Structure 1
């Protein structure tokens, strides 16, 4: 049964490392959450290690720069693992061919920069859809538009038998008060249309393997001493369950309405939501603090 807690400090002493989601837990895309920052600073001051585990479709250097812009202090985390890096590794190993059609925004073009951990990478070339051997999707072209508008291109891609590499399995994020679509929404639509999508972020194993590599660079931590924290029931929590890791569900993010979270989740609403989602996180709290 999921235990509702008030503060991270209540349980953090049981764990030597945290895998912490970013969007919805540490920031909202516009500003950092001071209480969450303080919680991670206290945890690290007590000797714990923090790996930020995000479905951002970008290299970790880009995410680090974003955190600096949002004034997230460097002393509240040790390393970063991104779905972008996990997906880039797959792309550079040829997962969707050499000639790829790119779906995403100009801001995410850093996805195509070299990844030096890959030996003998495939020479990937961005081409038009009619020339493509596969699709690389970091998100829709317009994050505010219904992904259904992409049906014509996706139908053509399906008819060609193209695989779609999804660099961010999240369906949506909230930038402040505005909800935006992510690559996961496009990948799900493509599958519903009969196409094949490849996922490399949470809840898929590849990004957890990357997170463990990042953690091993800073600390030697046994599996049972890792706690995963996130607000996505289908990504953060399902991923933790799949990896047999304990989890802390932050209910005030994506599921705030369903769990009737103000400061804390409503216990009855939380129980009903978890039953519908067939998920059982170890702990739950309204906001990371």
Structure 2
């Protein structure tokens, strides 16, 4: 791996990761939408990452999932993602736990399903006294991992709950900046949608995941890099708002996977192939366009 990274100024459709793998030592890959769909793994994507690693590269998975990284690894095992497809993982949940530890003397109100409570259990393992929970209008800060009931509720349903803490200047930690996620063929609202509502009400939001800095700093550290050592690091993701924007913020070369969260906009509804005209329209006027695109991650 001795070539300098070179990608075209406008997005180029790659035939596979092998087109540019020799230019990079590290891949920071998104998880949901790139290597699995919330139900099962994508074998071709896993194979591509395995091949990159077998050639001497490092792969760090970067996910906005609001749970500890170790929990995500167990979930990936269940989806069929082989462990030799990656070297490490950093989750938005990991960053959130660090933020909770910094605020251990304060009370918090949690927003999200019970399945995300492992986040607080893990945080308590690293502090002296148990976390203190309080009602939304009394808590010192809020943590949002998602909707309480993602199948029946909408982000705007939370406005009455959020008005008082927003007006009082309480901080909300968003443990998953994603606005929506695709589960199989369905799009489901995420914590990022609640954070948008909170900001619209005048509240202050602290984002724990992509596209913000902290998660990239930790991921690069796992790869043995610093933020200033990013010239041979490639970011791969399927969400423009988080993955591609985050890569641009960090000065990282990047590849956009079009069949993920934006599939319904970019792919033909019947044939399933990438619609070149739809892609051009989708990217028109974008301040942070991808450097290259692939319909799916393959070698």
TM-score, normalised to structure 1, is 0.92
Match of 2:108 among 100, 110, 113: 100
Name 1:136's counterpart in structure 2: 143
Task: Give the C-alpha shift of residue 276 in structure 1.
Answer: 4.1
C-alpha RMSD over aligned residues = 2.2
Name 1:194's counterpart in structure 2: 202
Task: Give the C-alpha shift of residue 19 in structure 1.
Answer: 0.3
Equivalent residue runs for 1:1-289 within 5 Å: 1-94=10-103, 98-114=106-122, 124-144=131-151, 145-216=153-224, 222-260=229-267, 264-289=273-298
Give the whole-Å Cα distance in 1 for the aligned partners of 2:264 and 2:203: 32
Give the whole-Å Cα distance in 2 for the aligned partners of 1:6 and 1:121: 52
Query: 1:93, 1:122 within 8 Å by CA — same for their partners in 2?
Result: no
SS at match of 2:266: coil
Give the whole-Å Cα distance in 2 for the aligned partners of 1:56 and 1:263: 27
Q: Structure 1 residues 108, 22: CA separation in 2 closer, same or farther (over 3 Å shift)? A: same
Give the whole-Å Cα distance in 2 for the aligned partners of 1:66 and 1:283: 29
Name the stretch that deviates more: 123-132 or 61-70. Answer: 123-132
SS at match of 2:110: strand
Task: Give the C-alpha shift of residue 264 in structure 1.
Answer: 4.9
Task: Give the C-alpha shift of residue 222 in structure 1.
Answer: 4.0
Q: Structure 1 residues 122, 181: CA separation in 2 closer, same or farther (over 3 Å shift)? A: farther
Give the whole-Å Cα distance in 1 for the aligned partners of 2:132 and 2:234: 39
Q: Structure 1 residues 255, 114: CA separation in 2 closer, same or farther (over 3 Å shift)? A: closer
SS at match of 1:224: coil
Gaps of 5+ in 1: none
* 1:95-147 Cα shifts (integer Å, max 9, x gaps): 9x6100000111111111345997x7786312222331110111111112211
Give the whole-Å Cα distance in 2 for the aligned partners of 1:278 and 1:257: 22
Task: Give the C-alpha shift of residue 246 in structure 1.
Answer: 0.2
Give the whole-Å Cα distance in 1 for the aligned partners of 2:21 and 2:232: 10
Query: 2:45, 2:297 within 8 Å by CA — same for their partners in 1?
Result: yes
Gaps of 5+ in 2: 1-9
Q: Structure 1 residues 5, 203: CA separation in 2 closer, same or farther (over 3 Å shift)? A: same
Name the stretch that deviates more: 202-211 or 250-259. Answer: 250-259
Task: Give the C-alpha shift of residue 173 in structure 1.
Answer: 0.4
Q: Structure 1 residues 265, 122: CA separation in 2 closer, same or farther (over 3 Å shift)? A: farther
Give the whole-Å Cα distance in 2 for the aligned partners of 1:265 and 1:94: 46
Name 2:4's counterpart in structure 1: none
